[in-house]
Amino acid sequence: MQDHNVQANAPSPFSPLTIGPLTLRNRFIKSATNEGMSPGGVPSKQLAKFHGDIAAGGVGMTTLAYCAVSPDGCTLPNQIVLDRESLAHLRVLTDTVHRHGAAASAQITHGGCFTFLQPQQSARPLSASGGFNKVGILSGMFRKQAMTEADMHRVADEFVRGARLAREAGFDAVELHMGHGYLLSQFISPLYNKRRDPYGGSLDNRLRFPSLVLRRVLDAVGKELAVVCKFSITEGVRSGHTAEDGAAIARILEREGAHLLVLSAGMNVESATTMFGSSFPKENRVTVRNPIVAAGLFIQGLIEPKVAFHELYLLEHARKVRAAVKMPLAYLGGAKSLAGIDNLMGEGFDAVALGRVLIAEHDYVNKLQSGVSRDSICTACNRCVAMMYTPGGTSCVLGQPGDPQLNSQGAAT
């Protein structure tokens, strides 16, 4: 285990960082957070403004959350699908980000059985294994379908097509989402993957399909774009994989050639508090109109344990990954002060991914660099998550809500 004391030669978080073919101006990355700013699946003017404001606020790179690689890859209505129809709107977003000196990353993913939409290409939602679909309790799709090898190659092709479209739209990086219970995570997770063929059983086998997707995307765009993988170090639930497994996953992804790993944790259904590091409030200033989402939030509030936030809540787990690999790592999980960020640099992490902090203060990085601020105003109350379902999209309840009018217009219109 590496020394947890601060390294004497730790880099400044404001220094450049090279990941694959991409060099960032600093080590701050806006993590992917679903923004609710793509009505009809089209990136809105509000979405372009949101990421442009965060770029102007000083980050090295901002990540556009959940760009589905196919219509069947969506989990909810109004999510972006990487297709020709969204291309011009995505180009407005990347141009806006670049104008402010930051890089733009597209998180490309597929929801698998974690979806509330009826699939078009199969009778049931696809997953690593078939059988009962617990997510389907809310949507009426009570069964899921195990993917065949033909399904896997078709979906891998969709990831490649999505990555190429992201490159065409002006993105500098793509992030493959391998965590939180989406499709690639469903193969990695022992909770979801019960296969008895070469794609199930051992961790190496469970990583076989996600590794295939990673290799295919690297072959397609890896010379021009940074190829990032986001995964759950620990699933935070009994019978799920542990941080020791997370370190082994990182070694496999390093071996396969990923340029950067974003270290998250938890699962959307089973362990959201592991992901966010704090409980969701029962009282909320937001009325969620989607009845399925409202029911999900209510049930989550009943079953999730009460967890009080503390800064750097995933550090103990992330250290195990840092000790296991030499490749660049982005720490994600409750960094909200300059002292905490300097601590992460000292522990050997190469970048810091920020979510709620940058929703609360788009210019937090500039404030840190200028010395205006050291601590974020973010209280980790998690109300910004429910704000995603308001007409203006995601915002912090301590600030101004998003503009519903801008959020109703496509970015390129």
- Give the CATH number for residue 150: 3.20.20.70
State the Cα–Cα distance between residues 311 and 30, nearest whole angstrom.
17
| 396 lies in some domain | yes
Quote the pLDDT of residue 291. 58
Q: Specify the amino acid at residue 22.
A: L
Question: What pLDDT digit, counting tens, does each position of 373-394 carry?
Answer: 999 999 999 999 889 889 999 9
State the Cα–Cα distance between residues 338 and 13, nearest whole angstrom.
9
Question: What pLDDT digit, counting tens, does each position of 95-106 carry?
Answer: 999 999 999 999
pLDDT category of residue 139 using cuts at 50, 70 and 90:
confident
Q: Which of the residues 182, 199, 313, 331 is marked catalytic?
A: 182
| 251 lies in some domain | yes
How many domains is the chain partitioned into structurally? 1
| 296 lies in some domain | yes
| 4 lies in some domain | no
Q: Specify the amino acid at residue 325.
A: V
| 248 lies in some domain | yes
Q: Respond yes or no: is residue 66 known to be catalytic.
A: no
Average pLDDT over residues 41-49: 97
| 317 lies in some domain | yes
């801008």: which residue's tokens? 406
Beta bridge partners of 263: 231, 331
- Contact indicator for 409, 44 with CB cutoff of 8 Å: yes
Domain of residue 199, residue span: 17-408
| 237 lies in some domain | yes
Beta bridge partners of 63: 105
Q: Write down the pTM of the prediction.
A: 0.93
Average pLDDT over residues 253-270: 96
| 199 lies in some domain | yes
Size of the chain, expressed as the number of residues it contains? 413
